[in-house]
Amino acid sequence: MPATLRTAAFGAAVAAFAFAPASALAQKKYDTGATDTEIRVGHIVPYSGPASAYGVIGKTEEAYFRMVNDNGGINGRKVKFVSYDDAYSPPKAVEQVRKLVESDEVLVVFNPLGTPSNSAIQKYLNAKKVPQLFVATGATKWNDPKHFPWTIGWQPSYQSEALIYAKYLMKEKPDAKVVVLYQNDDFGKDYVKGLKDGFGAKASMIVAEESYEISEPTIDSHIVKLKATGADVFISITTPKFAAQAIKKLAEIDWKPMHILSNVSISVGSVIKPAGFENAQGILSAAYAKDAADPQWQDDPGMKKFLALLDKYYPEADRLNTSVVYGYGAAQTLTKVLEMCGDNLTRENIMKQAANLKDFTPDTLLPGVKINTSTTDFAPIEQLQMMRFKGEKWDLFGDIISGEAGH
Amino acid sequence: MSAVEEAANEAPAVEAVPKRAMTLGYGTSLVVLALLIIVPMFLKNFFVFQLTMLLIYALAVLALNILTGGSGQFSLGQSAFYAVGAYTSAILMEHMGVNYALTLPVAGIICFGFGFLFGQPALRLSGIYLALATFALAVAMPQLLKLGFFEHWTGGVQGLVVTKPDAPFGLPISQDRWLYYFTLVVSIGIYIASVNLLKSRSGRAFMAIRDNEIAASAMGVDVALYKTLAFGVSAGITGVAGGLGAIAVQFVAPDGYTITLAISLFLGMVVGGVGWLPGSIVGSAFIIFVPNIAEHISKGLSGAVFGVLLFLVIFLVPHGARQVAMVAQQMLGKLKKN
């Protein structure tokens, strides 16, 4: 009899032992890349090659997650941030992302940069059902939850921004004659499409378009040609080097149209200052993030946190570089999503939470700009505020405008 | 000084490699082949993918090797042929629904024609001037692919997404593994054909031109024909490699085929040993893995670390993998005697 009893007791003990972790497992759910102590996050960015200037985004994000880990991690789990160089080359991006997913076994691929690189990895990640979270490109095509439920954008799309300019012009200058100078690539073309969509039936307001190749040494001839059309609004869809050239050339040939500059080139340090402050007065643009150089944010609690992070974890960062501000905001958004996931760290739940952000405001975004997503809206930031260059800085004006594009 | 004298006095651009030294021995070839067949069976899909890329770049390096090591002509424009091959495969597969395997010969033939035609004006140029002309081709190619005129087909700057083929006949292996073995078969076929080409009458003509153009023409070799032919063959093989690359990467975009690729291939050839065909795979391994190692050592200075490693290779073994192989062979020989 005692023997049976002992067996029964043993059996009960085994059963208890076997069931205890099972009930715990019911609450904690993991996919590859997440454990009780760690969340592995994969990332690619060009640290080398033609677009290596964006490498600071990766460094800022790395600094941000170090801070998160020093403060105890996310729900007790440390973030392991694995970041590789793709040199802005699509084949290299595929290789590195496959390495992240299959060899490093990351839970998500976060903030991969560049339209070509993201196009190259999109199909693979969606087939593997690995989240391609908060891609760092402004193309509109990332907001397509129906066909690519594992891909989600972050920053306002180029089309959203262009829509905002079109709205502004139709309200403020309904009889404007608009000319557009754009870079002949996906960035420029997306933008022009946004403008035309924005003008809608009044697309004839655009009297001329000129495109330039990124390899052209100067864009002077295009500007002279555009002046000859007698237009009174000049929209400059240019990257920093060309934006500065355009501002200078306009002053040189004494042409003073209303000048609208794309958000890509609003950096005071690398565009406006080289072009000359006196030439840049009155230029219009739109922003969604705070500018670290702007004194109005000196006492802003969000920017104070941003600067404190840089001081402690990334002291060599250039505080005026908009990419640093960008990386901070993106990393904070991922942290928020992972917090929302709680102990259910499956890839499916991560996409569910990423599509469930409601009025979330990272520290570095303009007050009033909020991140909102839903199962049908994979474009987190869609709001911008217009601003005018005055003196040596941008002055924000008007309301926060929403430019929802692509749906 | 007349052009003829100039050509006669010029030091040969590429060191003469005897025909027999261009390949591996029978036994060694079989060992390498066995490794290439067996090893991927035990690897994760990602490493299999990397090995596929290794074979693909090895083909492209081999093509350059035939051109430079065989006929003594330089090219920095291989990325252009690679791009044409990749786009040919991608367009045929995605727009016309052609089977992936059938797109490769088409890519090869189109690139052969392209290379042959490019070889015509290149006849007037030699050495560094030829290198510059092909360099221009490589620089122009990404922009040509972006032209609005072709956009309907090429997808412009957005590129084209390619569907990866499944293993046929319901074979229970993953897409990556299937593609690896498919690439391996194509590569072996091309390797054997290349070895035979260089051993043939045409191959001897290539080498005669490489060693001394005037002597070759005095022997009755049609210099113009064989020079352009070398260009054509090289471009054709590069095109096939490009097509395979497009299928493996599942994406083509102008940014994937910049001058950086051409320089990488050139680098691969030098590291592998100019004129030594088996070195192609070593060179290919160098251009795929060494940047990753460099990145592992230092993220911010990966370019500099890569430079140092490259410098060490060129300084210590100027003839690349061929030199290492020869030294190893001699040591083995000594061991046998003892």
Each residue of B100-110: pLDDT tens digit? 899 999 999 99
Is A22 part of any domain? no
Residue A387: in which H helix or E strand, if any?
A: strand A383-390
Angstroms from A185 CA to nearest CA on chain B: 6
pTM of the model: 0.79
**Residue A24 pLDDT grade (very low, low, confident, very high; cuts 50, 70, 90):** very low
A140 and A180 in a single domain? The answer is no
Q: Specify the pLDDT at position A1.
A: 43
Instruction: Say how far apart CA A299 and CA A289 lie, in whole Å.
Output: 16
Which residue type, as a one-letter code, is found at position A263? N
Per residue in B221-246, pLDDT (tens digit) is 898 899 899 999 999 999 999 999 99
**Residue A20 pLDDT grade (very low, low, confident, very high; cuts 50, 70, 90):** very low
**B55 Cα distance to chain centroid:** 10
Please state, rounded to an integer, the average pLDDT across all residues of chain B. Answer: 85
Contact (CB<8Å) B249/A91: yes
Q: Specify the pLDDT at position B97.
A: 85
Angstroms from B248 CA to nearest CA on chain A: 9
In the predicted model, is pLDDT for residue B251 greater than 70?
Answer: yes
Contact (CB<8Å) B146/A184: yes
Instruction: Say how far apart CA A365 and CA A367 lie, in whole Å.
Output: 6
A310 and A265 in a single domain? The answer is no
Answer whether A101 touches B (CB < 8 Å): yes
A174 and A206 in a single domain? The answer is yes
In the predicted model, is pLDDT for residue A339 greater than 90?
Answer: yes
A203 and A185 in a single domain? The answer is yes
Per residue in B154-201, pLDDT (tens digit) is 877 778 888 888 777 777 788 888 999 999 999 999 999 999 998 899
Domain CATH number, residue A132:
3.40.50.2300
Which residue type, as a one-letter code, is found at position B335? L
Burial A165-201 (b: 16+ CB within 10 A, else e): bbbbbeeeeeebbbbbbbbbbbbbbbbbbbbbbbbee
Q: How much of chain B exceeds pLDDT 90, in percent?
A: 31
| Token reading at A80 | 């392991």
Token match 């030699």: residue?
B126
Is A5 part of any domain? no
Q: Specify the pLDDT at position A268.
A: 82
Closest CB from B46, B253, B295 relative to A116:
B253
| Token reading at B264 | 């990488």
A391 and A258 in a single domain? The answer is yes
Q: Specify the pLDDT at position A109.
A: 96
- Determine which of A297-301, B148-152, B230-234 has the lowest per-residue pLDDT on average: B148-152
Is A36 part of any domain? yes
- Give the DSSP letter of residue A38: E
| Token reading at A370 | 């909020």
Chain A residues inside the 8 Å CB shell of B156: 186, 189
A193 and A308 in a single domain? The answer is no
- The 10 Å Cβ neighbour count of residue B113 is 15
For residue A256, give its domain range: 158-287+387-402
Burial B301-316 (b: 16+ CB within 10 A, else e): ebbebbeebbeebeee
A150 and A57 in a single domain? The answer is yes
Q: Specify the pLDDT at position B119.
A: 84
A165 and A152 in a single domain? The answer is no
Q: Specify the pLDDT at position A7.
A: 52
In the predicted model, is pLDDT for residue A187 greater than 90?
Answer: no
Mean pLDDT along residues A27-31: 83
- Total domain count, chain A: 2
Is A218 part of any domain? yes
Is A1 part of any domain? no
A136 and A197 in a single domain? The answer is no
Are the C-beta atoms of B36 and B54 separated by less than 8 Å?
Answer: no
Higher pLDDT, B99 or B164: B99
Chain A residues inside the 8 Å CB shell of B45: 98, 102
Cα dihedral value A161, A162, A165, A167, nearest 10:
-100
Please state, rounded to an integer, the average pLDDT across all residues of chain A. Answer: 87
Instruction: Say how far apart CA A276 and CA A295 lie, in whole Å.
Output: 20
Chain A residues inside the 8 Å CB shell of B256: 89-91, 116, 120
Chain B residues inside the 8 Å CB shell of A115: 157-158
- Determine which of A153-162, A369-378, B298-307, B312-321 has the lowest per-residue pLDDT on average: B298-307
Are the C-beta atoms of A130 and A111 separated by less than 8 Å?
Answer: no
CA distances from A359 to A338, A342, A368 (A): 16, 19, 9
Are the C-beta atoms of A92 and B295 separated by less than 8 Å?
Answer: no
A196 and A93 in a single domain? The answer is no
Is A247 part of any domain? yes
Contact (CB<8Å) A119/B49: no
In the predicted model, is pLDDT for residue B299 greater than 80?
Answer: no
Instruction: Say how far apart CA B38 and CA B34 lie, in whole Å.
Output: 6
| Token reading at A143 | 């907001």
**A42 Cα distance to chain centroid:** 16
Q: Please, what sign has the CA dihedral across residues A74, A79, A85, A89? A: negative
- The 10 Å Cβ neighbour count of residue A374 is 11
Per residue in A235-286, pLDDT (tens digit) is 999 988 889 999 999 999 999 999 999 998 888 877 888 899 999 999 999 9
A229 and A306 in a single domain? The answer is no
Residue A236: in which H helix or E strand, if any?
A: strand A233-237
Are the C-beta atoms of A336 and A68 separated by less than 8 Å?
Answer: no
The beta strands (E) that lie in chain B are given as: 160-161, 251-252
Strand duo A178-183 + A233-237: pairing? parallel
Longest Cα pair distance anywhere in chain A, in angstroms? Answer: 107
**B239 Cα distance to chain centroid:** 9
- Give the DSSP letter of residue A201: G
Contact (CB<8Å) A102/B44: yes
What ipTM did this prediction achieve?
A: 0.75
Is A21 part of any domain? no
A80 and A196 in a single domain? The answer is no
Mean pLDDT along residues B69-91: 91
Are the C-beta atoms of A342 and A75 separated by less than 8 Å?
Answer: yes
| Token reading at A194 | 């946004």
Are the C-beta atoms of A142 and A156 separated by less than 8 Å?
Answer: no
Angstroms from B274 CA to nearest CA on chain A: 26
Closest CB from B46, B249, B258 relative to A102:
B46
Answer whether A94 touches B (CB < 8 Å): yes
In the predicted model, is pLDDT for residue B19 greater than 70?
Answer: no
Residue from A119, A124, A216 to probe the interface with B (highest B Cβ count within 10 Å): A119
Is A131 part of any domain? yes
Higher pLDDT, B6 or A378: A378
Listed in sequence order, the residues at least 6 apart from A59 whose beta carbon sits closer than 8 Å to its beta carbon are: A314, A317, A327
Task: Determine the residue of chain B that is closest to A83 in CA distance.
Answer: B299
The three-state secondary structure class of A194 is helix
Burial class (CB in 10 A: 0-12, 13-18, 19+), B164: middle
